[in-house]
Amino acid sequence: MPKSYAPRFVAPDASLNLPLVRDLMIKKVISLTPEMEIHAAMELLIKNKISGAPVIARNGSLLGMLTERDCIRMLKAELMHSQDVAHTVADCMNADIPSIEPDKNILEAAAYFVEKNMRRIPVVEKNKVIGQVHRTEVLKYMARLRKG
């Protein structure tokens, strides 16, 4: 079985003048609350054509992430057991997720995506979610950098 390529972060040459996460992040994030009914949250993901959303407390702090994978896992369990297994986002979300600071550069964000195998990472500043960075945006920018 081939080994996956997951390099550890190495500080880039300062002359590259790399953009920061805050330059690439999406500021208007569709988010969920922990008490939101799980089926309503799934409908929100489907309606907005997104594969996941951060779960945010009333004070703006990050509590976790609800993804399509979490929803599929929950629905599979419901179908197998013919009963509800989760009622709220808090019952189904993944609370163990990384976040990134807005002043990290694009290569540091790329290292997160490679090492954590995530599609999106919440951007947190002073314990508040201020945005979200997607690996697609990082990929686009890195491809442009490579072309020169």
Instruction: Using pLDDT thresholds of 50, 70 and 90, give the confidence band for residue 148.
Output: low
Q: Is the pLDDT of residue 3 over 80?
A: no
Distance CA 99, CA 84 (A): 30
Distance CA 86, CA 75 (A): 9
The identity of residue 6, as a single letter, is: A
pLDDT tens, residue by residue, 25-49: 999 999 999 999 999 999 999 999 9
Q: Is the pLDDT of residue 1 over 50?
A: no
Distance CA 21, CA 59 (A): 23
Please report, rounded to a whole number, the percentage of residues in the chain having pLDDT higher than 70.
89
Q: What is the overall mean pLDDT for the chain? A: 86
Q: Which residues of 37-75 are buried (b: 16+ CB within 10 A; e: fewer)?
A: ebeebbebbeeeebebbbbbeeeeebbbbbbeebbeebb
Give the domains, in start order, of the chain with CATH numbers: 19-147 (3.10.580.10)
pLDDT tens, residue by residue, 67-88: 999 999 999 888 888 777 778 9
β pairing state of 52-56 and 62-67: antiparallel
The pTM of the full predicted model, rounded to 2 decimals, is 0.81
Q: Is the pLDDT of residue 59 over 50?
A: yes
Token duo for residue 123: 């951007």
